[in-house]
A and B are shown apart, each in its own frame.
Chain A
Amino acid sequence: MHIGAAKQSYAADEAIFTTNTQKTWLVALAAALATLPLFAGDYWLLIACLVAINVISAAGLMVLTGYTGQVSLGHAAFMGVGAYAAAWLAAKGAPFWLAIPFAGFVAAAVGAVFGVPSLRVKGLYLALTTIAASFILHFIFFNWASVTGGALGLNVEPASIFGVKLISNSHLYWLAMPLAWASVWCATNLFRTRVGRAFIAIRDRDISAEVLGIELFRYKLISFALASFYAGVAGAVWVYLFRVVTPESFRLIDSIFFVAAIIVGGLGSVRGAIFGAVFMTLVPELLKLGVAMLEPYYPGVVQLLSPVRIIVFGGLIVGFLIFEPLGLNETWRRVRHRFALWPFRT
C-alpha cells in the first residue's frame, strides 16, 4: 500500500513506476549498474554479462509461459538458433548491430513454426512438442554442417564498433546490460496494452478470450515469435561473449534452466523473470565459491561440484514449487508489505 500516492490522472495511474520512492530506487539501481565496471573484477563482469543475457531470455520466456500460459521447454534451442544466425551473419562480415537483430528475427520465425502445435494441443502436450522441437533443432545444429559447422560449431570474430574490438567483459557488459534494460522495458510495456491483455486472457480462459474477439492462434503464434525473438537476441549476445557456438551450447537442460528461472522468479510478472534469472545465474557461482572454500578442509570435494550443482538445481525447482509456488516475486511482495508501514504494525 502506498501512502500519499493518490493519482491525479489516468496516465499517472498507468505508469510503470508510480511513486517517487520507486523512481528513486530505479535511479539508484541504474547508477549502480552503470558504475559496476569501474570496481568489479573481470570474473564478476562475466557473471554480470551472463545475468543480463539470462534476463533477456527469461523475459521472453515469461511472456510466453508466464503470461500466455504456453509451456515451452525449447527456449534454449531458440537461443541456439539466434546464436547460430548471428555467428553465420557475422562470418559474412556483418557488424554486430545487424547480426543481433537478424538473430532475433530468424529465431522468431523458427519459434513461430514450432508454435504451430499450440493450435492443436495445450498444457503438458504442448510442453512435449517443445521438447521434441529442442531435439529436432539440436539434430539440425549437428547435421546441417554447411551452415552450422556441424559438431565443431561456428566461431565468431569479436564485435567491433568504429574499428574498436569489443573483447573484454566490460565491453560486452555495455552491450548486454542496456539490451537487458530495453528487453525488460518493452516486455513491461506489452502488458499495458491490449496485446498483453490478450496474452493473459489466453492463459486464464482461452474460450472466453475467443468470445471477446481474440483470435487464439494468431496471438499464440505472436507470443511464440516474440519470446523466440528475445531468445534469439540473448543467444546472439551470448555468442559475442563466448565467441563460439556448438550443438552442445544449448541443450534441453538449458531450456529447463530457463523454465526453472521463471518459476523460481514467479510466473506472471516481468519482475519475476529478473529475479529468477539473477537467482539462477548466481546460485551456481555461489556454490562454486562455497565448494572452493571447503576444499582445504575436504580435499577432492571440488569434484563433487558438478553433481552437487545438478542436485541443487533440481532441489530449487522442487523446493520452490512446494514451498513458494508463486516464486521470489511473492517473497518480495510479502517482505515489502511487511515493511510498508514500518515501524507501525499492520
Chain B
Amino acid sequence: MQEAAHAPILSVENVALSFGGVKALRDVSLTVAKDSITSLVGPNGAGKTSLFNSISGFYRPQQGRIVYEGADITHVPTPKRAALGLARTFQNIALFRGMTVLDNIKLGRHTHMKTGVVDALFYYGRPKREEMQLRAEVEEKIIDFLEIDHIRHAPVAALPYGLQKRVELARALAMQPKLLMLDEPVAGMNREETEDMARFILDVREEWGVTILMVEHDMRLVMDISDHVVVLNFGQVIASGLPADVQHNAEVERAYFGSGDYSALRQRPRAQAGAGVA
C-alpha cells in the first residue's frame, strides 16, 4: 500500500452539481494518487455516480474544477477525455449488444487508431495492418489476461452477467487507460466472482500501471484492496483516508447505520459473529 509520493493523477476541486432544485454534489473535493486503488463509497443516492459522470464529462458541474494529470479538463468534451487515458465502466453494463465480445473490446482502442473512412472502405493495406496488430495485442494482453478466450466470438447479449462485466473491463483496458474508473465492478456477483474480479483489479494495477478509482458497495472488497477510501453522503464528502480510519469514523457510521445508539447496534453483530466463530 503506497501513499502518494508524487502529484495526484486526478483532483476534484470543490465541485458542485445540481439538477434543477436537486443538489447532487455539494463542494466535493478529492484526490486520487497515481497507482493507487481509491474507492468511493456511500449510501445510495449519495452522488457517487453523479461524480463519476462529472469526471467522464456527461454532467458539467456548476462550480469547481476537475484536474487530470495537472490539466483542467472541466470543459473538455467527453470523447476527448478518452484519448487522455480516462476509461470507465458502467453500473448497468453498457456493452454494445449488436457486437461480439472481440468487437466490443477492439472498440476500446478506437481513439488510439488512425484508420479513416476512405481507407476503411478498401481495407487492404494500412487498415488491415492496424487491425491485425490490434487483434494480436488484444488477444495476447487482454483476452488471455482476463481469461475470456472461450467467448471471444460470442455475441455479448448471450453472456451471463458476470462475464459481461469482465468484457466491459476488457474493453476499458483496451483503451490503454491511465485512470480506470469502475462503477460497481462486483455488483450482483457471488463470492467467487468477486474474488476473481478483485484479483483482476489488483493485477491491472500491478501489471498495467493503471490507477483505479472505483465506486463500490461491497465493503469487504473495498476494505481489502483499497489504498484510499472516500465516503460520500448527500453529495458531500464526509470522510476520506485509509480504509481502517474511515471504517471507524463516527460520521460514516451515522451515515450507514443512522443516528441513535449505534454502539449498542454494533455490539449485536459482533456478539453474534463471536458466538458463530466459537
Contacts and interface: CB of A to CB of B under 8 A. Distances in A.
B94 A207 contact: yes
A214 B81 CA distance: 10
Contact of B107 (A10, A201, A215): A201
B111 A213 contact: yes
Given A14-B131, A189-B122, A193-B131, A226 B117 contact: yes
B250 interface: no
B120 A189 contact: yes
Contacts of B123: 189, 192-193
B117 A195 contact: yes
User: Is the contact region of chain B dominated by helix, strand, or loop, or is it mixed?
Assistant: helix
A224 B83 CA distance: 25
Contacts of A243: none
Chain A interface category by residue count: 20 to 34
Interface in A176-218: 186-187, 189-190, 192-198, 200-201, 203-205, 207-216
A208 B94 contact: yes
Interface string B49-86: 00000001110000000000000000000111111000
B90 interface: yes
Given A14-B135, A210-B78, A212-B111, A204 B99 contact: yes
Contacts of A204: 96-99
Chain B interface category by residue count: 35 or more
A194 B88 CA distance: 19
Nearest to A189: B123
Contact of A186 (B80, B99, B116, B121): B121
Contacts of A266: none
B243 interface: no
B93 to A, nearest CB: 10
Contact of A194 (B56, B78, B115, B171): B115
B127 interface: yes
Contacts, number: 107
B111 A268 contact: no
B109 interface: yes
Contact of A195 (B81, B95, B99, B116): B116
A268 B96 CA distance: 13
A222 B98 contact: no
Contacts of B7: none
A32 interface: no
B98 A210 contact: no
Contacts of B80: 213
B218 interface: no
A125 B254 CA distance: 48
14 contacts: A11-B132, A14-B132, A189-B120, A193-B120, A194-B110, A194-B130, A203-B98, A205-B94, A211-B82, A211-B87, A213-B80, A214-B111, A222-B117, A268-B98
Of residues B79, B94, B119, which shows the largest number of chain A Cβ atoms within 10 Å of its Cβ?
B79
Nearest to A193: B120
Contacts of A208: 90, 94-96
Interface string B131-142: 110011001000
